[in-house]
Amino acid sequence: MSATLSRHWPAPAKLNLFLHVNGRRSDGYHELQTLFQFIDYSDMLDFKVTANPELILHSNMGNLVADSDNLILRAAKSLQQQTGFGGGAEIWLDKRLPMGGGLGGGSSDAATTLVALNALWNTQLSPEELAAIGLKLGADIPVFIHGFAAFAEGVGERLQAVSPDEPWYLVIVPDAHVSTAAIFQDPLLPRNTPKLAIDSLMNQPWGNDCQNLVASQYPQVAKALGWLLEYAPSRMTGTGACVFGEFPQQQQALAALAKLPSDMQGFIAKGMNISPLITRRNHP
Protein backbone atom coordinates (compact mmCIF):
# COMPACT_ATOMS: atom_id res chain seq x y z
CA MET A 1 0.00 0.00 0.00
CA SER A 2 1.58 3.22 -1.16
CA ALA A 3 1.96 6.09 1.27
CA THR A 4 3.17 8.48 -1.39
CA LEU A 5 1.28 11.67 -2.07
CA SER A 6 -0.87 11.66 -5.21
CA ARG A 7 -1.13 15.29 -6.22
CA HIS A 8 -3.12 17.67 -8.37
CA TRP A 9 -6.50 15.98 -8.73
CA PRO A 10 -8.75 18.71 -10.23
CA ALA A 11 -12.32 19.33 -9.11
CA PRO A 12 -13.53 21.63 -11.89
CA ALA A 13 -16.39 24.07 -11.77
CA LYS A 14 -19.47 23.62 -13.93
CA LEU A 15 -21.82 26.08 -15.55
CA ASN A 16 -25.49 25.47 -16.19
CA LEU A 17 -25.77 26.81 -19.73
CA PHE A 18 -29.52 26.65 -19.26
CA LEU A 19 -31.71 25.55 -16.34
CA HIS A 20 -35.44 24.85 -16.67
CA VAL A 21 -37.69 23.83 -13.79
CA ASN A 22 -40.43 21.60 -15.19
CA GLY A 23 -42.34 20.74 -12.02
CA ARG A 24 -42.21 19.59 -8.43
CA ARG A 25 -42.29 15.89 -7.58
CA SER A 26 -44.18 14.24 -4.75
CA ASP A 27 -40.87 13.70 -2.88
CA GLY A 28 -40.22 17.46 -2.87
CA TYR A 29 -37.47 17.35 -5.50
CA HIS A 30 -37.89 19.18 -8.79
CA GLU A 31 -37.93 17.91 -12.35
CA LEU A 32 -35.26 19.78 -14.26
CA GLN A 33 -33.79 20.08 -17.71
CA THR A 34 -30.31 21.55 -17.73
CA LEU A 35 -27.08 21.62 -19.71
CA PHE A 36 -23.82 21.15 -17.81
CA GLN A 37 -20.45 22.25 -19.14
CA PHE A 38 -17.14 22.25 -17.27
CA ILE A 39 -14.71 25.16 -17.14
CA ASP A 40 -10.95 25.09 -16.63
CA TYR A 41 -11.15 26.58 -13.15
CA SER A 42 -10.86 24.06 -10.34
CA ASP A 43 -10.39 23.22 -6.71
CA MET A 44 -7.35 20.95 -6.29
CA LEU A 45 -7.04 17.88 -4.08
CA ASP A 46 -4.07 15.76 -2.99
CA PHE A 47 -4.42 12.30 -1.50
CA LYS A 48 -2.27 9.95 0.59
CA VAL A 49 -3.42 6.38 1.18
CA THR A 50 -3.10 5.22 4.79
CA ALA A 51 -3.05 1.74 6.31
CA ASN A 52 -5.52 2.65 9.05
CA PRO A 53 -9.15 3.41 8.12
CA GLU A 54 -9.14 7.00 9.41
CA LEU A 55 -10.13 9.76 6.97
CA ILE A 56 -8.42 13.10 7.59
CA LEU A 57 -9.11 16.30 5.66
CA HIS A 58 -6.88 19.37 5.61
CA SER A 59 -8.17 22.43 3.80
CA ASN A 60 -7.68 26.16 3.43
CA MET A 61 -11.36 26.76 4.29
CA GLY A 62 -10.95 26.90 8.06
CA ASN A 63 -14.01 25.57 9.87
CA LEU A 64 -16.64 26.74 7.38
CA VAL A 65 -18.06 23.22 6.99
CA ALA A 66 -18.36 20.69 9.82
CA ASP A 67 -16.68 17.33 9.14
CA SER A 68 -20.04 15.56 9.45
CA ASP A 69 -21.43 17.69 6.61
CA ASN A 70 -18.32 17.73 4.44
CA LEU A 71 -19.00 16.06 1.11
CA ILE A 72 -15.37 15.03 0.67
CA LEU A 73 -15.34 13.00 3.87
CA ARG A 74 -18.83 11.65 3.25
CA ALA A 75 -17.81 10.53 -0.24
CA ALA A 76 -14.65 8.80 1.04
CA LYS A 77 -16.63 7.09 3.83
CA SER A 78 -19.28 5.93 1.36
CA LEU A 79 -16.62 4.39 -0.89
CA GLN A 80 -15.06 2.63 2.11
CA GLN A 81 -18.42 1.20 3.13
CA GLN A 82 -19.42 0.21 -0.40
CA THR A 83 -16.17 -1.66 -1.10
CA GLY A 84 -15.11 -2.86 2.35
CA PHE A 85 -11.71 -1.21 1.87
CA GLY A 86 -9.75 -1.47 5.12
CA GLY A 87 -7.41 1.48 4.72
CA GLY A 88 -8.06 5.19 4.74
CA ALA A 89 -6.71 8.44 3.40
CA GLU A 90 -5.31 11.81 4.24
CA ILE A 91 -6.74 14.47 1.93
CA TRP A 92 -5.63 18.04 1.22
CA LEU A 93 -8.09 20.51 -0.35
CA ASP A 94 -7.00 23.75 -2.00
CA LYS A 95 -10.37 25.49 -2.23
CA ARG A 96 -10.55 27.97 -5.09
CA LEU A 97 -14.21 27.82 -6.12
CA PRO A 98 -16.63 30.05 -4.21
CA MET A 99 -19.20 28.40 -1.96
CA GLY A 100 -22.85 29.05 -2.72
CA GLY A 101 -21.96 30.30 -6.18
CA GLY A 102 -23.74 27.78 -8.39
CA LEU A 103 -20.43 26.43 -9.74
CA GLY A 104 -20.85 23.00 -8.13
CA GLY A 105 -17.66 23.12 -6.08
CA GLY A 106 -18.82 20.86 -3.24
CA SER A 107 -20.25 18.29 -5.62
CA SER A 108 -17.11 18.40 -7.76
CA ASP A 109 -14.89 17.90 -4.69
CA ALA A 110 -16.93 14.83 -3.74
CA ALA A 111 -16.76 13.43 -7.27
CA THR A 112 -12.99 13.91 -7.46
CA THR A 113 -12.64 12.19 -4.09
CA LEU A 114 -14.60 9.17 -5.33
CA VAL A 115 -12.70 8.97 -8.63
CA ALA A 116 -9.27 9.48 -7.06
CA LEU A 117 -9.70 7.08 -4.13
CA ASN A 118 -11.26 4.45 -6.39
CA ALA A 119 -8.00 4.58 -8.37
CA LEU A 120 -5.62 4.91 -5.42
CA TRP A 121 -7.38 2.29 -3.26
CA ASN A 122 -7.68 0.05 -6.33
CA THR A 123 -11.32 -0.61 -5.47
CA GLN A 124 -12.15 -0.93 -9.18
CA LEU A 125 -15.71 0.40 -9.21
CA SER A 126 -17.05 1.46 -12.60
CA PRO A 127 -17.99 5.10 -13.27
CA GLU A 128 -21.65 3.99 -13.09
CA GLU A 129 -21.11 2.46 -9.64
CA LEU A 130 -19.29 5.57 -8.45
CA ALA A 131 -22.09 7.76 -9.83
CA ALA A 132 -24.66 5.71 -7.89
CA ILE A 133 -22.72 6.39 -4.68
CA GLY A 134 -22.43 10.05 -5.61
CA LEU A 135 -26.12 10.48 -6.38
CA LYS A 136 -26.99 9.59 -2.77
CA LEU A 137 -24.81 12.51 -1.66
CA GLY A 138 -25.91 15.10 -4.22
CA ALA A 139 -27.77 15.32 -7.53
CA ASP A 140 -24.89 17.08 -9.34
CA ILE A 141 -22.17 14.60 -8.39
CA PRO A 142 -22.74 12.05 -11.21
CA VAL A 143 -22.04 14.57 -13.98
CA PHE A 144 -18.65 15.34 -12.43
CA ILE A 145 -17.83 11.62 -12.12
CA HIS A 146 -18.69 10.86 -15.75
CA GLY A 147 -16.79 13.94 -16.83
CA PHE A 148 -18.52 14.92 -20.07
CA ALA A 149 -20.69 17.92 -20.89
CA ALA A 150 -24.24 16.68 -20.52
CA PHE A 151 -27.89 17.41 -21.01
CA ALA A 152 -29.49 16.36 -17.72
CA GLU A 153 -33.06 15.52 -16.78
CA GLY A 154 -34.87 14.23 -13.70
CA VAL A 155 -33.24 15.80 -10.64
CA GLY A 156 -30.10 16.06 -12.78
CA GLU A 157 -29.11 12.40 -12.73
CA ARG A 158 -30.23 11.29 -16.21
CA LEU A 159 -27.34 12.35 -18.41
CA GLN A 160 -26.85 12.49 -22.16
CA ALA A 161 -23.46 13.52 -23.56
CA VAL A 162 -23.51 16.66 -25.71
CA SER A 163 -20.90 18.84 -27.41
CA PRO A 164 -21.85 22.50 -27.15
CA ASP A 165 -19.44 25.21 -28.26
CA GLU A 166 -16.52 25.78 -25.88
CA PRO A 167 -16.35 29.58 -25.63
CA TRP A 168 -14.43 31.71 -23.17
CA TYR A 169 -16.37 32.86 -20.14
CA LEU A 170 -16.09 35.82 -17.85
CA VAL A 171 -17.50 34.61 -14.54
CA ILE A 172 -18.46 37.21 -11.95
CA VAL A 173 -18.59 36.10 -8.30
CA PRO A 174 -21.02 38.35 -6.38
CA ASP A 175 -20.49 38.67 -2.65
CA ALA A 176 -23.49 36.47 -1.85
CA HIS A 177 -24.06 32.90 -0.68
CA VAL A 178 -27.31 31.65 -2.25
CA SER A 179 -29.00 28.65 -0.61
CA THR A 180 -30.08 26.17 -3.28
CA ALA A 181 -32.62 24.65 -0.89
CA ALA A 182 -34.17 28.05 -0.13
CA ILE A 183 -34.53 28.91 -3.82
CA PHE A 184 -36.18 25.59 -4.66
CA GLN A 185 -38.56 25.96 -1.71
CA ASP A 186 -39.54 29.52 -2.60
CA PRO A 187 -43.19 29.75 -3.71
CA LEU A 188 -42.27 32.36 -6.32
CA LEU A 189 -39.95 30.02 -8.24
CA PRO A 190 -41.40 29.25 -11.69
CA ARG A 191 -42.06 25.51 -11.92
CA ASN A 192 -43.98 25.15 -15.18
CA THR A 193 -41.48 25.38 -18.03
CA PRO A 194 -42.60 22.78 -20.60
CA LYS A 195 -40.27 19.85 -21.16
CA LEU A 196 -38.71 19.94 -24.61
CA ALA A 197 -36.68 17.51 -26.67
CA ILE A 198 -32.94 18.09 -26.56
CA ASP A 199 -32.81 19.11 -30.23
CA SER A 200 -35.28 21.90 -29.57
CA LEU A 201 -33.47 23.04 -26.44
CA MET A 202 -30.07 23.17 -28.14
CA ASN A 203 -31.42 25.45 -30.86
CA GLN A 204 -33.25 28.10 -28.88
CA PRO A 205 -32.11 30.98 -26.65
CA TRP A 206 -30.95 29.71 -23.27
CA GLY A 207 -32.16 30.91 -19.89
CA ASN A 208 -32.29 30.06 -16.20
CA ASP A 209 -35.66 29.76 -14.45
CA CYS A 210 -34.04 30.64 -11.09
CA GLN A 211 -32.42 33.85 -12.30
CA ASN A 212 -35.19 36.42 -11.83
CA LEU A 213 -36.05 35.14 -8.34
CA VAL A 214 -32.42 35.20 -7.19
CA ALA A 215 -31.80 38.62 -8.75
CA SER A 216 -34.85 40.00 -6.92
CA GLN A 217 -33.50 38.77 -3.57
CA TYR A 218 -29.81 39.49 -4.10
CA PRO A 219 -29.05 42.97 -5.48
CA GLN A 220 -25.41 41.92 -5.96
CA VAL A 221 -26.52 39.30 -8.50
CA ALA A 222 -28.80 41.74 -10.31
CA LYS A 223 -25.99 44.31 -10.46
CA ALA A 224 -23.47 41.78 -11.84
CA LEU A 225 -25.93 40.62 -14.49
CA GLY A 226 -26.79 44.16 -15.48
CA TRP A 227 -23.13 45.04 -15.94
CA LEU A 228 -22.15 41.85 -17.79
CA LEU A 229 -25.07 42.00 -20.24
CA GLU A 230 -23.51 45.16 -21.67
CA TYR A 231 -20.62 43.04 -22.97
CA ALA A 232 -21.92 39.59 -23.84
CA PRO A 233 -24.86 37.15 -23.68
CA SER A 234 -25.00 36.50 -19.93
CA ARG A 235 -26.87 34.33 -17.44
CA MET A 236 -26.72 33.03 -13.90
CA THR A 237 -25.46 29.48 -13.28
CA GLY A 238 -27.44 27.06 -11.12
CA THR A 239 -29.21 28.83 -8.28
CA GLY A 240 -26.47 31.48 -8.26
CA ALA A 241 -24.82 33.61 -7.18
CA CYS A 242 -22.27 33.47 -10.02
CA VAL A 243 -23.13 34.89 -13.43
CA PHE A 244 -21.26 34.33 -16.67
CA GLY A 245 -20.90 35.96 -20.06
CA GLU A 246 -19.85 34.13 -23.24
CA PHE A 247 -17.07 35.38 -25.52
CA PRO A 248 -15.84 33.73 -28.74
CA GLN A 249 -12.22 34.79 -28.08
CA GLN A 250 -10.11 34.93 -24.92
CA GLN A 251 -9.00 38.47 -25.72
CA GLN A 252 -12.61 39.71 -25.71
CA ALA A 253 -13.20 38.16 -22.29
CA LEU A 254 -9.98 39.67 -20.94
CA ALA A 255 -10.94 43.09 -22.29
CA ALA A 256 -14.25 42.95 -20.44
CA LEU A 257 -12.55 41.71 -17.24
CA ALA A 258 -10.21 44.72 -17.39
CA LYS A 259 -13.28 46.99 -17.15
CA LEU A 260 -14.82 45.13 -14.21
CA PRO A 261 -15.86 47.60 -11.50
CA SER A 262 -13.61 47.60 -8.44
CA ASP A 263 -16.42 46.33 -6.21
CA MET A 264 -16.84 43.14 -8.28
CA GLN A 265 -14.69 40.02 -8.53
CA GLY A 266 -14.39 37.75 -11.54
CA PHE A 267 -12.21 35.38 -13.52
CA ILE A 268 -11.77 34.10 -17.08
CA ALA A 269 -12.23 30.42 -17.90
CA LYS A 270 -12.54 28.23 -20.98
CA GLY A 271 -15.55 25.99 -21.57
CA MET A 272 -14.60 22.30 -21.60
CA ASN A 273 -16.74 19.39 -22.80
CA ILE A 274 -14.34 16.86 -21.26
CA SER A 275 -13.47 17.34 -17.60
CA PRO A 276 -9.78 17.64 -16.63
CA LEU A 277 -10.57 15.01 -13.98
CA ILE A 278 -10.89 12.39 -16.73
CA THR A 279 -7.38 13.17 -17.99
CA ARG A 280 -6.04 12.96 -14.43
CA ARG A 281 -7.89 9.70 -13.72
CA ASN A 282 -6.14 8.05 -16.64
CA HIS A 283 -2.74 8.93 -15.13
CA PRO A 284 -3.09 8.13 -11.40
For residues 36 and 42, give the distance between their C-alpha atoms in angstroms, rounded to a whole number: 15
Question: Looking at 43, 95, 109, 140, which residue is catalytic?
Answer: 140
Coil vs helix vs strand at 3: coil
For residues 225 and 206, give the distance between their C-alpha atoms in angstroms, rounded to a whole number: 15
For residues 54 and 48, give the distance between their C-alpha atoms in angstroms, rounded to a whole number: 12
Q: CA angle 134-183-171, nearest 5°?
A: 75
* 14 a catalytic residue: yes
Question: Looking at 14, 43, 95, 109, which residue is catalytic?
Answer: 14
Distances from the Cα of 119 to the Cα of 52, 158, 222, 280, angstroms: 18, 25, 43, 11
* 48 a catalytic residue: no
* Dihedral over alpha carbons 247, 180, 213, 29 (to 10 degrees): 110
Q: Which residues are catalytic?
A: 14, 140
